[in-house]
Amino acid sequence: AKLEEMGVRMTVSEDSIFVEEQSNLKAINIKTAPYPGFATDLQQPLTPLLLRANGRGTIVDTIYEKRVNHV
């Protein structure tokens, strides 16, 4: 859902996912939370994607306050 919110276009088939190259990604705000919220493990791969997005996005980790070593 967050990738779609950013404008990432994907084609999903039975055994693969194809992601189209894009230059107009929208910045989003992410707030981690226990299930069924946004998983803390997914914030790390989304960080570099947000760097390429237009606008200002934020990532707030509500579970592990010091989990920013990947930055």
Segment 14-38, tens digit of pLDDT: 999 999 988 899 999 999 999 999 9
| pLDDT averaged over every residue in the chain | 90
What's the whole-model pTM score?
0.75
Q: What's the CA gap between 59 and 46, in Å, rounded?
A: 9
Token digits of residue 28: 């989003």
Number of other residues whose CB lies within 10 A of the CB of residue 30? 18
pLDDT greater than 70 at residue 71: no
- The confidence score (pLDDT) of residue 14 equals 96
